[in-house]
Chains A and B, each alone.
Chain A
């Protein structure tokens, strides 16, 4: 059964720093991996979707990488800003299933 883990559960960094969020999954048979942002009490906003055949996907200051064989994805945030403070979640749809499995998220706090 697919399990998705995000470490750390929470992270605080000073403004301006570059940072990396981690997502690992146990079953490498995935179509893709999607990163989301969630602000407190709000819905999820899609940030990046990286296909299983891709290594990287970039959007502005965000860069997501995927290493399917090792079951890992990272979300790199460059030059962090206080507005980046949110919870970041990763999700994988499983090839042998029609379901989607989410990690529990990393709660990011950017210190001004």
Chain B
């Protein structure tokens, strides 16, 4: 089944404890991106990647890192999480670029205490 998977789905952590949220897609898509969704603010793009080893900042990249060592994986790294990073995070992928149909993962609900 063609899909985007994220792990973990739920995570409660404490301020400053490094964490990684994994994202994987099995559709051989080149474009992958991370979003956060907050009440009243909607979905905002954090980082995106056009292909392996190519990443770029979205609208809200502060406090996040990403890497794209393989085509299928695009992990989101929070080196020192803070409470304002408590949010619902989504990974998405598309065939070539941002103008193709976007496929979303199920989401990761992160709480930083």
Contact = CB atoms under 8 A, between A and B. Distances in A.
A71 to B, nearest CB: 17
A91 B41 CA distance: 14
B58 to A, nearest CB: 6
Interface of A: 31-32, 34, 36, 41-46, 49, 89, 91, 93-94, 97-105
B42 A104 contact: yes
Chain A interface, DSSP helix/strand/loop, else mixed: strand
Nearest to B106: A43
Contacts of A99: 45, 48, 58-59, 98
A42 B106 contact: yes
Interface residues of B, number: 27
Contact of B102 (A42, A94, A100, A104): A100
Given A41-B107, A43-B107, A100 B33 contact: yes
B43 A102 contact: yes
A46 B100 CA distance: 11
